[in-house]
Structure 1
Amino acid sequence: MASSGASDRRELLVHMNAGKGESSYANNSSLQKNLILKAKHILEETITRLCSYYPPNCMKVADLGCSVGPNALLLISNVINIVDTVCTRLNHELPTFQFYLNDLFENDFNTTFKSLPDFYTKVLQEKRCRSGSCFINATPGSFYGRLFPSNSINLFHSSNSLHWLSQDPLLGSSLNKGHCHIVSTSPPEVYKAYLTQFQQDFKLFLKLRSEELVSGGAMALLFLGNQENPRITGWELISLILNEMFLEGLIEEEKMDSFNIPVYEPTVEEIRHVIEEEGSFFIQQLEILVLPWDKGLSEWSDDSSLDGSIKAELMAKHVRAIMEPLLSTKFGEEVITEVSMRYQKKVVQLMQVEKEKLEFATLMISLTKNA
C-alpha cells in the first residue's frame, strides 16, 4: 500500500501482522471479509459488464493490497464463481484465469501461498474451473507505482487498501502537535494537507491503472470513506490514546511529533471529483455503505449475541493486527500492548457509558476504462 520513490521509507511499516498467531491479520480480518461479501454485487455487476462486452480468453485479475490470509483467496473464489455464472448464461466458454496478488514487499505472501494446495483442490472438486486453468502469482510492490505491462490486465480489485496514503501528509510539520491523525480540534490546514495528499495519490493510482488495463478493462474498489457526518473514527481514537500516553510521559515528544497515521477517508464528492478530473475512467457505480464498528467482527457467532466487552476486545485485536507494525516500529513493541488495552477500554466507554453511535463508512466503486 505504499508508494515508490520519495515514500519508500514507509514500505517496511505499512503492512498487516504476519503469520497465523493470535494477533495476526489472517486471524483478525473477519470484518474485512464481511465488507467483501456485502460489496459482492459491485464485483458481480463489474464482471458481468466486462464479460458481456469484452469476453477474454484469459481473465487477468489483480488484487491490489491483498494483505495476508483467507480474504485474498475469497476474492479469487468469488471471481471464478461470478465468471462461471456469467459465461453459462451467455453461452461463452469459461476463460483461463490468471490472478496476481499484490501488496508491499514486506507483506506475508508465504502464509497465503501455503494454503494454495488446499484451495486448488477445492476449486477442482467444486468443478468451478478445469485443471490447469487457474494460476495464482504474487506481484510485490506499491500500487502507487507501475506494477504491470501496458494493456495487460482485465480487472483490478482492491479492498480496504486505498485509504492508505503514499506518505505522511504532515511530514516535518507541527500543525497537528500532540496528535497523529485528524481529530476534532485539528486546524483546517491539517484536513487540507490530508485531502491534498489523497487527491495526488488517487489521481496517480487511476493514471497508472488506466495504462495497465486492456481496452474496456474495469476496476472494483472498496475502501474506507467519510459519510460527512461528525463521528469519531478508529484513527482518531488511536490518536487520542497516543496523546494520553504522551502527556503521561510514556511516549517521547520527538517521536510523537514526527508520527502521523497516513490514512484518509474521502467523501463521495471528493472521490467523484478526482475520478472526473483525472479522466481515464467512467463511473459505473459509486455507493456508500455505513455499518457499526462491531459488524462482522466474529466468524463464529452473531454480533448481536456478543456482549460489549467481548466486542471491544475483538475490535482491539482487529486494530492491533492492522497497526502493530506501524506503531511498534515508531514507538517500540511495548507500546502496542498498552495502546490495545486502552483502545478496548475506550470502546467500552464510548458504547456503554457515552452511548456513542460508532459507525464506519465504506465506499464501493465500479469503474470502466474510457475508450
Structure 2
Amino acid sequence: MLKKTVRALYSKENFPQYFTVADLGCSSGPNTLSPTYEMIDAIVGLCRETGHAPPELLVFLNDLPSNDFNTGFRSLPDFYNMLKKEKGDDLGPCFIAGMPGSFYGRLFPSKTLNFVHSSYSVHWLSKCEFGDGEVDVGGGESDAVFFELSLQIGSRSEIDGRTLKPFLMGWWVGAGGELGGGQVPQGIDNNKGNIYMGKTSPHNVFEAYLEQFQSDFSLFLRSRADEIIPGGQMILAFIGRNISDPTSRNCCVIWELLAKCLLQMAAEGLIEEAEIDKFNLPHYTASREEVITIVEKEGSFVIDRLETFEVNLDFNDNDENKNYVFDKYKCGQDVAHLIRAISESLLAHHFGDAIIDDLFERYAERIGKHLSMEKTKHFNIVISMTRK
C-alpha cells in the first residue's frame, strides 16, 4: 500500500520538482530508514518508467525529543551510498532530517508536506495515569520495522507467520523504547485489579479510554491537516479490535494475564495491590467503526481505503503451516519476551526494576497455558486518507 500510494500521489501531482514526506513515530532502531527507502524506490521507479526527472526529496523522521536520533543519523552516509549505487543518476537530491516532538500537535509549517506515514504509533495515547499526576507520552514510540505490514495488505496470502515474525518483533521492541513512565485517561482510579480495559472494569473506564483516544486522534488529524497540502495523502497503521465490544479478547487478554501475574505477586507480598490499581496502560485498541467516525467528524480527510487483518499472538504460529507443532513453554517465553520489550519501561518506572524478571517468568507460564487452549490474534487497521 505504501509504494502504490506514493506512486499514485506523485503522478497525480504532475511529478513535482520537490516532494516532502514525514515518517512519524519511527526514528529509533535499525529499521528507521526502511519506509524512506520504500518511498524513494517507488518515486525513482515511476520516474524511470515515465521519463520524468527525479524530484528533490525532503524526508523528516519524527520521534519524541528523548529519542536518540544519532543512531539513525550515523547510518545516513551508508544509506546515501547505497541509494546512489542502486539508483545511479535516476536519484535526485535527497535530504533527511530529524523532527523531535509529539505528533499530538503541530510539527511542521503549514501546507509543506506531500505525504505522511506512521506505523503502529497512533494507538499510543498522549497521557497515562498512574496515580501520581500526569506525564505526557506523546507520539513516536514505534519502530519503523512494522511498516512492512501495510505494504502487504493488498495480498493477504502474503500475510503469514513467516513473513510477519521479524516485523512484529520489531514493533514490540521499538514501541517500548520511548514510553518511559507516564500516566492514561483521567478518572479511572476505580479500575481496580486491571492495568487496562478488562472484563471487570467499570463502564466509566471504557468511556475514559475512548474519550482520550477520540481527543488524541482528532488532534493528530487536525495537526496533519494543517501541515499536508490539499490533495496530499497519509497512511496510518495501528493495533485495533475487530468488534465493538472494547473488552474483546483479542485486545485485552494479553494485559488481563499480565494483571493476574501482578495480583499474584501482590498476594505474596512482593508488591502492593494499591500500586496495581494506580497503573493503567497508555494505549487504546479502537474499532474500525470508531476510527471511521473520528475521521469523518474531524472532517479534514477523505478515507480512500481501510483494510483490517489479524496476526497470531504467537508469531511462530503460521496458520498455513500444517507441520507447525505447538510448544507451550517456548511459545510462552517468546510472547513474554515481546510483551516485556514493549512494557518493561512502564512497569519498571511504576513498580521498580526488582520485580521485572519474576513478573515475566510468571507471565510466560500463563501466556503459554492460555495459547495452548485458545489461539489469540492481534487485530490490525491500515487506513489511507487524502487531505481535502
Cα distance between partner residues in 2 of 1:335 and 1:115: 36
Q: Judging changes above 3 Å, is the alpha-carbon distance between structure 1 residues 148 and 113 closer, same or farther for their aligned structure 2 residues?
A: same
Cα distance between partner residues in 2 of 1:252 and 1:105: 33
Name the count of aligned residue pairs: 324
Q: Does 1:255 align with 2:275?
A: yes
Correspondence for 2:21 among 52, 56, 61 = 61
Partner of 1:317: 337
Asked whether the 8 Å contact 1:172–1:258 carries over to 2, the reply is no
- Residue 307 of structure 1 deviates from its aligned partner by 4.2
Q: Does 1:173 align with 2:188?
A: yes
Cα distance between partner residues in 2 of 1:325 and 1:297: 27
Amino acid in the other structure paired with 1:43: L
Q: Does 1:152 align with 2:102?
A: no
Partner of 2:295: 275
Amino acid in the other structure paired with 1:362: N
Q: Judging changes above 3 Å, is the alpha-carbon distance between structure 1 residues 81 and 304 closer, same or farther for their aligned structure 2 residues?
A: farther
Where 1:144 maps in the other structure, the secondary structure is coil
For structure 2, list consecutive stretches of 5 or more residues without a partner in the other structure: 129-183
Cα distance between partner residues in 1 of 2:340 and 2:4: 34
Q: Does 1:239 align with 2:283?
A: no
Partner of 2:377: 359
Cα distance between partner residues in 2 of 1:297 and 1:112: 32
Partner of 1:205: 220
For structure 1, list consecutive stretches of 5 or more residues without a partner in the other structure: 1-41
- Residue 339 of structure 1 deviates from its aligned partner by 2.7
Cα distance between partner residues in 1 of 2:381 and 2:306: 7
Where 1:150 maps in the other structure, the secondary structure is coil
Asked whether the 8 Å contact 2:187–2:208 carries over to 1, the reply is no
Partner of 2:305: 285
Q: Does 1:348 align with 2:368?
A: yes
Q: Deviations over 1:120-143 (max 9, x none)?
A: 222222126767722221111100
Q: Kindly, what percent of the aligned residue pairs are identical?
A: 42
Q: Judging changes above 3 Å, is the alpha-carbon distance between structure 1 residues 268 and 200 closer, same or farther for their aligned structure 2 residues?
A: same
Q: Any residues of structure 2 matched to 1:110-149 within 5 Å, and which?
A: 110-127=70-87, 133-149=93-109
Asked whether the 8 Å contact 1:56–1:95 carries over to 2, the reply is yes
Asked whether the 8 Å contact 1:84–1:128 carries over to 2, the reply is no
Cα distance between partner residues in 1 of 2:332 and 2:47: 44
Q: Judging changes above 3 Å, is the alpha-carbon distance between structure 1 residues 46 and 239 closer, same or farther for their aligned structure 2 residues?
A: farther
Q: Any residues of structure 2 matched to 1:1-40 within 5 Å, and which?
A: none
Asked whether the 8 Å contact 2:306–2:381 carries over to 1, the reply is yes
Q: Deviations over 1:12-56 (max 9, x none)?
A: xxxxxxxxxxxxxxxxxxxxxxxxxxxxxx212321331121133
Q: Judging changes above 3 Å, is the alpha-carbon distance between structure 1 residues 132 and 357 closer, same or farther for their aligned structure 2 residues?
A: same
Asked whether the 8 Å contact 1:80–1:128 carries over to 2, the reply is no
Amino acid in the other structure paired with 2:225: S
- Residue 95 of structure 1 deviates from its aligned partner by 1.6
Where 1:261 maps in the other structure, the secondary structure is coil
Q: Any residues of structure 2 matched to 1:89-128 within 5 Å, and which?
A: 89-127=49-87
Q: Deviations over 1:242-284 (max 9, x none)?
A: 2333333322244323221011011110000000000000000
Correspondence for 1:51 among 10, 34, 46 = 10
Q: Does 1:187 align with 2:202?
A: yes
Instruction: Name the stretch that deviates more: 224-233 or 157-166.
Output: 224-233
- Residue 305 of structure 1 deviates from its aligned partner by 7.5
Instruction: Name the stretch that deviates more: 253-262 or 130-139.
Output: 130-139
Instruction: Name the stretch that deviates more: 232-241 or 202-211.
Output: 232-241
Asked whether the 8 Å contact 2:188–2:205 carries over to 1, the reply is no
Asked whether the 8 Å contact 1:105–1:141 carries over to 2, the reply is yes
Amino acid in the other structure paired with 2:349: T
Q: Judging changes above 3 Å, is the alpha-carbon distance between structure 1 residues 130 and 248 closer, same or farther for their aligned structure 2 residues?
A: farther
Cα distance between partner residues in 1 of 2:200 and 2:113: 44
Asked whether the 8 Å contact 1:217–1:368 carries over to 2, the reply is yes
CA RMSD in angstroms, aligned pairs only: 2.5
TM-score by length of 2: 0.77
Bigger relative contact order, structure 1 or 2 (CA pairs below 8 A, ≥6 apart): 1
Q: Deviations over 1:298-327 (max 9, x none)?
A: 9xxxx9578443333232222222212211
Amino acid in the other structure paired with 2:383: I
TM-score by length of 1: 0.80
Amino acid in the other structure paired with 2:61: L
Q: Judging changes above 3 Å, is the alpha-carbon distance between structure 1 residues 179 and 107 closer, same or farther for their aligned structure 2 residues?
A: same
- Residue 343 of structure 1 deviates from its aligned partner by 2.3
Q: Deviations over 1:338-358 (max 9, x none)?
A: 232222212211122xx2111
